[in-house]
């Protein structure tokens, strides 16, 4: 997954939530536990935090923080995954 965006006209309609649910479900169904890491644009940070993921602002671009779903350790930050 790289450079995934929701069209501005489709934001706040549940499209982003549906995409992330699908991606997390896909990752959870893999035969081996996965770690998903992604970097967010400043305008997307609140979306990922609302999903329960803390922003990792350590690094060269704190305005574009990283987020992680580590399926080796189970659900993260209240986020339920299959």
Listed by start position, the domains of the chain span 8-70
HSE-CB of 48 using CA atoms within 13 angstroms: 22
pTM of the model: 0.79
In degrees, rounded to 5, the angle at the alpha carbon of residue 79 between the alpha carbons of residues 35 and 38 is 40
Condensed to tens digits (0 to 9), the pLDDT of residues 7-29 reads 999 999 999 999 999 998 898 89
> Would the pLDDT of 76 be above 80?
no
CA 54 – CA 48 distance, rounded (Å): 8
Give the pLDDT band of residue 74 (cuts 50, 70, 90). low
Asked if residue 77 has pLDDT above 60, the reply is no
Summary mean pLDDT of the chain: 86
């Amino acid at each position: 997954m790289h450079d995934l965006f929701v069209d501005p006209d489709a934001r706040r309609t549940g499209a982003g939530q549906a995409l992330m649910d699908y991606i997390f479900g896909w990752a959870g169904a893999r035969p081996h536990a996965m770690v998903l890491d992604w970097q967010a644009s400043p305008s997307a940070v609140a979306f990922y935090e609302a999903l329960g993921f803390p922003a990792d602002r350590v690094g060269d671009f704190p305005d574009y923080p990283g987020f992680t779903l580590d399926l080796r350790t189970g659900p993260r930050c209240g986020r339920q995954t299959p």
